[in-house]
Structure 1
Amino acid sequence: MPLDPTLTTPTTPTTQEATTPTKPQKPTKPVDAILHSLAANRELATKKAVREALREAGLPGRPAYIDQVFAYRAEHNRHRWTRTTRRAVAHTGKECPACPQTSAPTKPVLLPSGTPQQRINARRRATLKAVAVNLLRYGAAGGSSFRVGFSDDPTKIGYLVEMESNWDTYKGAYKGWRANEDHHTVTIPYQWLTRVYRRDLEDLSGLLTLDAIPVSSGCPDIELYKAVWARQGRGYQVITERGFIARCGDYDFHADTAEGALKGIRRKMTAAGERAKPRSPLAITDEEFIKRFSRRDKECNVSLDDARESGSCESGILQWCEAVGIDPARGSIPLHEALEAFSREPQTEVRLAVIQAARRYRREQRLAGQAQ
């Protein structure tokens, strides 16, 4: 009985069939589809990983295929980066301007260190110190310090200078000598930049404005502020004063009361308007002014009353005297001394005082001649 061929034992393959290697399985997808899928796989970051992935997909690990994978990946990145622009074009129907491309790598823009409150406080301190050291004495031989505090309490606004001694400053033959130290402590409101600095009120007639609150003046051309200001005292001392400041154009006036400030600014404006003519003493340069009045009679003196009658406020007068080293207790000084001090610290108020003194002296001389 013949055997069933399906139940027969399989025959042993021939030597040629056993030694023939098995061919790799052909890919079921197109080559480009496989390359795109490999490009989308972010884990294949190296050429070696891409080559192994190509062989697993049934493709040879040729360099051309590897380069094509990375080229497709760069194309995918560009397509993703322009997604927002393409959506905007599809929505509006208008072409969007291309973003500027930079060839060189740019450094990231970093914010300064600290919180926003710390940064604005640092700016307040730096701005106030720059104005203060320009108007008031600062920097003793033994050392200096400058501290700025903030307060919403108007009674705490002020400028204080404490003097101390340093015995270690000098060396050599002067070792053991005392050196003075000046330590400045200033308290200003948190809104000092907006209240004072942005309104150009920080430096008025050589006085440092610490606080200024606008009040109604009743006149549209005159600004009136309830203010706190500091002026130079003897040595490194600073005097804090409170009152009102009136300002009109380039002129200002400090006074204890609002009425006094308004009267003072009107008097100063009137005096300036009467004398502010072409080639008048107020229109010439400082050198021409000194040359013109240095030819006056040597016996002419400039007094504090001349400064007051010309429209200057008391605080401005004292500030200028301290700045140039003149003792206000003298009451009056020779004209040549006033002009020499004016050359070192020129101010419009000093010009007005000199003009007032010269006119007063001529008037007194004329009356004396008539009496004879």
Structure 2
Amino acid sequence: MNTYGRFPIALERGEGCRVWDSEGKSYLDFVAGIATCTLGHAHPAMVQAVTEQIQKLHHVSNLYYIREQGELAEWIVNHSCADQVFFCNSGAEANEAAIKLARKYAHVVQEIQYPVILTAKASFHGRTLATITATGQPKYQKDFDPLMPGFEYVPYNDIEALENAIGELDEGNRRVGAIMLEPLQGEGGVRPGDLDYFLRVRKICDEVGLLLILDEVQVGMGRTGKLWGYENLGIEPDIFTSAKGLAGGIPIGAMMCKNSCNVFEPGNHASTFGGNPFACAVGLAVGRTLLAENLLQNVQARGEQLRKNLRALTKKAPNVFAEVRGWGLINGIELHTTAGFSSIEIIKAAMDEGLLLVPAGPQVVRFVPPLIVSADEIEEATDKLERALSRL
């Protein structure tokens, strides 16, 4: 179906941070499957995990215990604030699971008949009916109404608006039960959360008895320079989700929570493919490799290098670029509305130079390379971007 606005190339193979198209042209990949190929392409650890697991057991059913699933869940619990993990296949599914858990918690613990989940304007939480409703961007919701009830929106990083919304919605049987936020808004323009804002949100949730859900589909698994995005904000969520980078490009999603809010029972939620041995074996290999190869330190160093280079570029073209934002290796450069061209036009020009980039809205170019990216590749990418801009 014609549901994607594709660029006119077909990619055939990859190695490290590079991919090649069907014509043999090489590209430096700063898209990484949209923040997904954690270890780049054809990483030996992934090749080994895929090869070994497919020869043993790739899928059974959650009717039985799955050793690989247990090992990945144990790894996540040991390296996060979570106590429990539910596995699925995508970020949208992980967020659906979080929404369902929050709703059941609202009914059986908070005793709310009509619970509301507050989300942020400019957020993105997925493409299913519930998650596009949670998404605070009307363009994703157009023509899909009636939307799922039970969501309200507030400006991101605006604590006064959040507090006002909680108070205004406290009416009879309809009350706020949870707050769902991204630690850094990805599709919303690469906008990091403010530390003071999230500290206050956590305090409000504790005082009022609300659940805090963090959508880490894009920022989790080392993307920010820390294993989880919430670690940049000095708080712990009650529930958080992961997907994109969790198995380095093999489809997987996960919803994690603390014991205090785990009200799911057998039959409440399920997934045929979720937590299958194949995806979990690769996810475990990715997690172990992240730590064994000290990739979090690389993410921090390469992220600082990239932002420094992009800020130097803004000084050369102050009429084009307004701001550089990001954490680790999720970064965006915002164009002035008067720049004369859009993020897509920059991306097309960069593609001609052999650099793959991805937009985050019409005015932001996003940089999300594999976490193994080298210092030389950062320099190469910014050189290619500068050449692309000179052509525009």
What is the TM-score when the length of structure 1 is the normalising length? 0.24
Greater Rg over alpha carbons, structure: 1
- The TM-score with structure 2 as length reference comes to 0.23
Higher RCO (CA < 8 A, seq sep 6+) = 2
Q: By percentage of residues, which structure has more helix?
A: 1
